[in-house]
Amino acid sequence: MGNTVEKHDTMTVRISKVFAGGPGGQFSRKEPPWHNEKIFAVTGNPVLHSKSPLMFNGIFERQSIPAVYARLAASTAEEAIFLFKQLRLSGMNVTAPFKQDIIQYLDIVEPAAVRIGGVNTVVREKERLKGYNTDYIGVVESLKKNNIPIRDRKCVILGAGGAGRAAAYGLVKEKANVIIVNRTFSTARVVARSFGGKRCRAERIERLEEVLKSSDILVSTLAADIDIVPATWLRKDLVVMDANYKKSFLSEKAQNRGCQVIKGEAWLLNQAVPAFQYFLGATANETVVEIMRKALLSSPPGKPKNIALVGFMGSGKSAAGKILASQMGFSFKDLDELIEAKEGRSIPDIFKTDGEDYFRKIEKTLLKTELESHFGVVYACGGGVVIDKQNREILKQNALVIWLYSTIDTALKRILPGTRPLLDSDDPKKKAQEILNKRMAAYAAAADLIVSSEKTADKVAEKIHEEIRRTFYD
């Protein structure tokens, strides 16, 4: 898909207007129908560590905005866009390593994102996908809100990737004097030249100590475990901004040296505010920003007690779940099989004899009993378990919830005829799509992570295991 640059002035964030989305200045969420909810997500590789859902779901809940925000795992930018379209997402944040690659799949890209060479926010407008970059706003606003002057200040940026380029663009735009230092000098030089003028130049990494002696601001976009700045190079009057919101060598040293440290959460929050505006077409007031900030700083969950796989029938929950359980050293249970064993009859028989309401009551009781009393289990859950709000709460409180998504065509190929009562219809494909559409946002609301199950079960399990390992065990 080709893309074009949208001809408009780059957005400048002003936190002033009161957010209003409906009567009384708020949207109203009805429970149900979930099919009226908008779905947003963040994608990257890995992405399970992302704190973006804390902010967006925090504000959606507090302001009664009819929307949910999830994490979308993908191996490539192409796969991320495939899922974006399949799930009919209204918007998506993009993190490493997809910010550059995602551009080729968009219809329109704002000028700032073109200059930076990366997109971190994608918005659906009718059937067009529009790309923006709000990372540079996050850098500038984080400094300004800490009363740090930018104009004519000497700013060193470590790293010439997507975040580094965004930081350079924002600081040059604010008329700072920027020096880009990167392991590969030629890359730093290319980035510096792309912004032109006398405000931005590159330096070799071997000169970093000398450069820092006369610098005012250090912005690091390096990974948390990269340690290239000795503590003795950090002066007390140096402002250090770290893109990481994990504990990093740099921020720890800077704090110990008495530097003013701006952590990654500030950057994350201040890039999320304009993303919020793009998503909802409404300006965030100070109350909204404060809700997002408090949600961001809340404690994320620890290592998973259990793992629950949810998703539409035929999404491969049992097949992938058994493999994942083996990889994790967990046991495996299929909730539908537990229900059949308890009732002494098949699911189709339960539906035929006692109806869906009866089945849902059994399912709810069993879900609560199982998840609250067991540890170290991978559960394959029934396709409709997320419909009930209390079920979603039970899942979230007692498990890491993974939504396995597959297209209806793929799902129907995996389903044996006559085994799914809800698909008894003259047109099973149409019926299946209708059911899935109604459940989409409920799946998203329950899920900690969305994973495509179009692949083989072993690859699906491997992807989930990789996300869990990199988030909780690395």
Residues assigned a catalytic role: 99
Neighbours of 72 (CB within 10 A): 29
Q: Contact at 8 Å (CB) between 65 and 21? A: yes
- What sign does the CA torsion over 55, 61, 65, 69 have? positive
What H or E segment, with its residue span, contains residue 42? strand 38-44
CA distance linking residue 440 with residue 36, whole number of Å: 10
Q: Shortest CA distance to 75 belongs to which of 97, 45, 95?
A: 45
CA distance linking residue 382 with residue 396, whole number of Å: 16
DSSP 3-state of 94 = strand
Q: Contact at 8 Å (CB) between 158 and 164? A: yes
By CB atoms closer than 10 A (0-12, 13-18, 19+), residue 373 is: exposed
CA distance linking residue 423 with residue 295, whole number of Å: 40
CA distance linking residue 438 with residue 441, whole number of Å: 8
b/e sequence 140-150, b meaning 16+ C-beta within 10 Å: bbbbeeeeeeb
CA distance linking residue 127 with residue 88, whole number of Å: 10
* CA-to-CA separations, 403 to 24, 34, 136, 232, 362, in angstroms, rounded: 34, 16, 32, 47, 22
Strands 177-182 and 200-204: parallel
Beta bridge partners of 309: 380, 402
Q: Contact at 8 Å (CB) between 167 and 173? A: no
DSSP 420-468: -GGG-SS-HHHHHHHHHHHHHHHHHHH-SEEEE-SS-HHHHHHHHHHHH
Tokens (6 digits) for 299? 């404690």
What H or E segment, with its residue span, contains residue 404? strand 400-405
CA distance linking residue 363 with residue 339, whole number of Å: 7
Tokens (6 digits) for 80? 């991320």
